[in-house]
Amino acid sequence: MQSPLNPKSQIPNLKLPRVLIGVGGGIAAYKVCEVVSTLFKAGVEIRVILTRSAQEFITPLTLATLSRHAAYTDDHFWQPIHSRPLHIELGEWADMMLIAPLTANTLAKLAYGMADNLLTNTVLASTCPVLLAPAMNTDMWEQQAVQRNWHQLLTDSRYHGNGTASGLLACDRVGAGRMAEPPEIISHIQSLLHTQGKRDLAGKRVLISAGGTREYLDPVRFIGNPSTGKMGLALAQAAFHRGASVTLVHGPASWDVPLGVQGISIINAEQMQQVMLEYLPDAAVIVMSAAVADVKPRDYSTEKLAKRSLPQALPLEPVPDIVAQLGQLKQPHQCLIGFAAQTGDIVTPANEKLQNKKLDFIVANPIDQPDSGFGSDNNQAIFLDSHGRKVEIAPCSKLQMAHHLFDFVVSGEI
């Protein structure tokens, strides 16, 4: 996975992000090693607290080695070796906290404001955002008491849930309760460091299209483009992390839809058109980041064409102009954002598209620059809006770009 934050070598004079990680007692604790290692390589300062039960699964030495700093346990908490109480110092130090795996026991303590160890005391002695990544057996996770504590805790604006995935658990059960994978947790951490925990899209429905469409000539040949949908994926992550209800309509992709996001898979432009129009009425923000085909083969063969049967000239016909339709149908309270992937002069054609398609915002991004555009983990762009505002965004990760876009949109008071 590409580092989600700037390497330390690129930000020598800036305060590095500070993340405090609390590790609970569960087999999923091994996943925290990847989180710590990746964050350290990305230039994040890390401190780790292990509960007593966590030490049955992973050692303080392991996490101290990966974080390049001593890992704390309850033995440090109860010994008066610090000039100030350790839980106070750690709580004030952190820009954000991650608790992973979050056990049913620690969840219950947090839900009721209990503090009987270093981790829970530090949570109560801090004011920063807290990201929770639960992990437990399916029957445990689905207990009414556990779900009550989970939903109660998430009513507190400090707490952000990463939810659980379904899959094979350590108990050989297949079901819900599996901890989110490290890349998803790291993306959520990046979002919280950017937003400082604010949920400025809470209560809004965000509809996003992503990836390329495929217009088939026969069952194996199609007209397409190199879009991977990574930008749309990042937009969905950013919007969800900022509190929105997100629907992601995507073409063929090699990635999984993030936990908490509604994903709808399509193949061609006509299918995308149908889904976007169906979900349009309920959306407050619509982001058309998909690379939709402009044309399709006029004729489709249900059987694979022999090479000798391929037409010398391929008759084409246009596909629906989805973003133009959305622009015609959107209501005054809705915000429509388009993308313009360009080479050379990117501003002039983006401005024309902004006006002609009746967009509120447009992202002009160059696809002829190194490490930018289709397939890249990074992007750069110029944001334009219908009021004449213009903001240039330097190369950054696509998740950072997504947050910059939502900052730009929110500043326009959607």
- pLDDT digits 0-9 by tens, 59-118: 999 999 999 999 999 998 877 666 789 999 999 999 999 999 999 999 999 999 999 999
Residues 164 and 260: their CA atoms lie apart, in Å, by 9
- In DSSP terms, 378 is beta-bridged to 397
**Average pLDDT over every residue of 175-195:** 94
Residues 229 and 377: their CA atoms lie apart, in Å, by 11
The pLDDT assigned to 12 comes to 39
**Among 163-167, 175-179, 212-216, 276-280, the least confident range:** 163-167
The pLDDT assigned to 219 comes to 95
Same-fold call for 8-195 versus 205-296+314-411 = yes
CB 128 within 8 A of CB 94: yes
Q: Is 304 annotated as a binding residue?
A: yes
Q: Is 357 annotated as a binding residue?
A: yes
Q: Is 46 annotated as a binding residue?
A: no
Distances (CA, A) of 194 to 59, 244, 404: 31, 16, 9
Of 413, 359, 350, 356, the C-alpha closest to 386 is 359
**pLDDT score of 123 more than 60:** yes
CATH class of 205-296+314-411: alpha beta
* Catalytic machinery residues: 171
Return the domain boundaries, the chain.
8-195, 205-296+314-411
The pLDDT assigned to 380 comes to 93
The pLDDT assigned to 81 comes to 60
**pTM of the model as a whole:** 0.91
The pLDDT assigned to 204 comes to 97
The pLDDT assigned to 33 comes to 97
The pLDDT assigned to 360 comes to 96
Half-sphere exposure (Cβ direction) of 213: Cα atoms closer than 13 Å: 24
The pLDDT assigned to 370 comes to 81
CATH number of 8-195: 3.40.50.1950
Residues 40 and 34: their CA atoms lie apart, in Å, by 10
Q: How confident is the model at residue 411 (pLDDT cuts 50, 70, 90)?
A: confident
The pLDDT assigned to 244 comes to 97
**pLDDT score of 11 more than 80:** no
**Average pLDDT over every residue of 313-327:** 94
Q: How confident is the model at residue 413 (pLDDT cuts 50, 70, 90)?
A: low
Question: Cα 67 to the chain's mean position, in Å?
Answer: 24
Q: Is 322 annotated as a binding residue?
A: yes
Q: Is 130 annotated as a binding residue?
A: no
The pLDDT assigned to 84 comes to 83
Q: How confident is the model at residue 171 (pLDDT cuts 50, 70, 90)?
A: confident
Q: How confident is the model at residue 2 (pLDDT cuts 50, 70, 90)?
A: very low
Q: Is 323 annotated as a binding residue?
A: yes
Q: How confident is the model at residue 414 (pLDDT cuts 50, 70, 90)?
A: low
Q: Is 398 annotated as a binding residue?
A: no
Q: Which burial class, exposed, middle or buried, applies to 16 when counting CB atoms under 10 A from its CB (0-12, 13-18, 19+)?
A: middle
- What percent of the chain is predicted at pLDDT more than 70? 95
Q: Which phi and psi angles does 197 have, rounded to 5°?
A: 90, 0
Number of CB atoms found within 10 A of residue 280's CB: 17
Q: How confident is the model at residue 369 (pLDDT cuts 50, 70, 90)?
A: confident
Mean pLDDT, the chain, rounded, equals 92
